[in-house]
Chains A and B, each alone.
Chain A
């Protein structure tokens, strides 16, 4: 059976809706672990409130945050999947349909960057990136709504033949710029190399990895561990009012490039909105996150 326009449209709306009313299980576990190690009383209180807010949102089907962000999807199409209909349009129509039916309604966050006018629609919305998976017969959709609170602090700098030390010092420079602002504890994505756009994409994809997962490449795993220690030594803490827990995770990935090396750093706030599902050719929907 082909994967249809209707199936993609329905799932686009559902993924967005689900993402607003829950915090991913791995992220809640990360918060609970932070509560065990956090030494500041105020910070512990804030971490408990975060877990309370996450649980209440899930149980009562309420939004965790009033800022629903803008619709961002990452779609992976299996090379053996059969498609029927315009699935790019299906994602756009799925979001429009969600806006019309969702309860409570969404605030208008889609912003024209030239006029700062806000609404539910805009050029190139929803923001969709595409990938392919060799041999797979499914389509995977990941929804990661993005808002100003953490989105504002992403940065990229291009170096020439940098040492690892230069790269890591730059990550810390961006962490200092964000300071207390990005609703910590955050998930930090670092993308190294490739080209300008590829580095940013790698950093964004790195934030999608579950909190607590260990990087398969030992060199990157060690880098993530020492960077996480360094970020948490800054002391900004939960909500930036002091504490040991400024980040729950630092995830690093890279691509080969030329001698010029872009380094991209981005942040997800503590609610780390992320839902993912696969559409299979038998018509089933496999909800993964």
Chain B
């Protein structure tokens, strides 16, 4: 299994293929907040700096509980993916403007996001939902937290991770999406599936 150093370059992102499982080392940026995405989008529209530097890096749909430590540092107690599709309307602009090379979460993104990913050299990484014990133990350091006024899981958090995953390349930088392919395949199979259901009913 390949280990990828984060943030990936566009060329490294393009070397990955849908369906491949990889492990992540290095630095990632996470958030699970719609308001956070709206802020990042507003910064892009108005030409302002975002609350945290994300250009050329990752923006992963992972929710986390972050807090200040007694020693004046930061800690993340647990993290886990959230559903990415609710960010569909915002992701193409964010991917293009910030040149993101990795996005991710669970459940995938739509075709317009996949198009932006192919243009920029960006992959979608599918994380295990319900994998908090595994994902959290890969955190090595909390480097930065922004948007403190938002609830914990909405904040932007920059983390150093080691051996995070395995994660599945759900959408690659060549326009291949496991999610779209599986949906299309299930649609194709549906007449046969429904015919089998009807035949089974007849026999029951």
Binding site for B on A (CB under 8 A): 23, 42, 45-46, 49-50, 52-54, 56-57, 60, 62-67, 104-105, 107-108, 116, 118, 148-149, 152, 164-165, 168-169, 172, 176, 179-181, 183, 219, 222-223, 226-227, 229-230, 233-237, 239-242, 269-271
Given A57-B133, A222-B204, A234-B193, verify A50-B128 contact (CB < 8 Å): yes
Whether B130 and A176, one on each chain, are in contact in the complex, defined by CB atoms closer than 8 angstroms, is: no
CB-nearest residue of chain A to B129: A183
Contacts of B151 in A (CB 8 A): 107-108, 118
**B64 lies within 8 A of A242 (CB):** no
The residue from A52, A168, A236 contacting B197, defined by CB atoms under 8 A apart = A168
**If A165-B198, A230-B196, A234-B193 touch, does A62 touch B178 (CB 8 Å cutoff)?**
no
Apart from the given pairs A66-B63, A176-B190, 14 other A-B contacts in the complex at a CB distance below 8 Å:
A23-B130, A46-B128, A49-B134, A50-B130, A52-B134, A53-B128, A67-B80, A67-B82, A107-B151, A108-B153, A116-B34, A239-B126, A240-B182, A241-B168
Bound-complex Cα distance A57 to B106 (A): 20
Contacts of B187 in A (CB 8 A): 176
Query: Among the listed A45, A116, A179, which residue makes an inter-chain contact with B182, where contact means beta carbons less than 8 Å apart?
Result: A179
Q: Are B83 and A149 in contact (CB under 8 A)?
A: yes
Interface residues of B (CB under 8 A from A): 19, 21, 34, 63-65, 67, 77-80, 82-83, 85, 106-108, 126, 128-134, 136, 151-153, 166, 168, 170, 178-179, 182-183, 185-187, 189-190, 193-194, 196-198, 200-201, 204
Would you call A62 and B78 a contact (CB within 8 A)? Answer: yes
Instruction: Judge whether A230 and B130 touch: CB under 8 Å.
Output: no
Q: Are A233 and B178 in contact (CB under 8 A)?
A: no
Instruction: Find the B residue at minimum CB distance from A59.
Output: B133
* Known pairs A49-B166, A241-B170; A56 contacts B134 (CB<8 A): yes
**Cβ contact within 8 Å between B78 and A239:** no
Question: Known: A57-B133, A169-B194, A241-B178. Contact between A104 and B78, CB under 8 A?
Answer: yes
A23 vs B133: C-alpha distance when bound (angstroms): 13
Which residues from B are CB-within-8-Å of A237?
182
Task: Find out whether the CB atom of B129 lies under 8 angstroms from the CB atom of A239.
Answer: yes
Contacts of B107 in A (CB 8 A): 180-181, 240
Partner of A229 from the list B78, B83, B183, B200 (CB cut-off 8 Å) is B200
Interface-centre pick from A42, A179, A180 (highest chain B CB count, 10 A): A180
Partner of A240, one of B63, B80, B179: B179
Our pick among B19, B67, B130 for the contact of A65 (Cβ within 8 Å) is B130
Cβ of B141 to closest chain A Cβ, rounded Å = 18
Taken together as a complex, chains A and B put the C-alpha atoms of A152 and B85 apart, in Å, by: 12
Identify the closest chain A residue to B165 (Cβ): A49
Q: B65: which of A45, A54, A107 is its contact (CB, 8 Å)?
A: A107
| 8 Å CB contact of A241 from B85, B126, B186 | B126
* Residue in B183, B194, B196, B200 whose CB lies within 8 Å of A180: B183
A233 to B192, CA, bound (A): 10
Residues of B within 8 A of A164 (CB): 201
Closest chain B residue, CB of each to CB of A246: B186
Whole-angstrom distance between the alpha carbons of A104 and B78 in the complex? Answer: 8
Residues of chain B contacted by A219 (CB below 8 angstroms): 204
Complex Cα gap A230–B133 (Å): 32
Contact of B168 among A42, A118, A165, A233 (CB under 8 A): A42
- Evaluate contact between A181 and B83: CB separation under 8 angstroms: yes
Distance, CA A148 to CA B168, complexed state (A): 22
Establish whether residues A226 and B204, one from each chain, have CB atoms under 8 Å apart when the complex forms. Answer: yes
Q: A107-B151, A233-B189, A234-B193 given as contacts; is B133 within 8 A of A64 (CB)?
A: yes
Within the complex, the shortest CB–CB distance from B200 to chain A, in Å, comes to: 4
A227 and B197 in contact, given A56-B133, A66-B153 (Cβ under 8 angstroms): yes
Q: When chains A and B are docked, how far (Å) is the Cα of A49 from the Cα of B166?
A: 9
Q: Write out the residue numbers on chain B whose beta carbons fall within 8 Å of the beta carbon of A176.
A: 183, 186-187, 190
CB-based nearest B residue for A231: B193
Interface contact B152-A239, CB-CB below 8 Å? no
Report how far A50 CA is from B166 CA in the complex, Å: 12
A52 and B166 alpha carbons, distance in the complex (Å): 12
Contact A62 B136 (CB under 8 A): yes
The answer to whether B193 and A172 have CB atoms under 8 Å apart is yes
- Among A116, A233, A271, chain B packs the most CB atoms within 10 A around the CB of A233
Question: A181 to B85, Cβ gap below 8 A?
Answer: yes
Can you spell out 19 A-B residue pairs with CB atoms less than 8 angstroms apart?
A42-B19, A50-B130, A63-B132, A64-B132, A65-B129, A66-B78, A66-B153, A67-B80, A152-B83, A165-B197, A179-B182, A183-B129, A222-B204, A226-B204, A230-B197, A234-B190, A239-B128, A240-B126, A269-B129
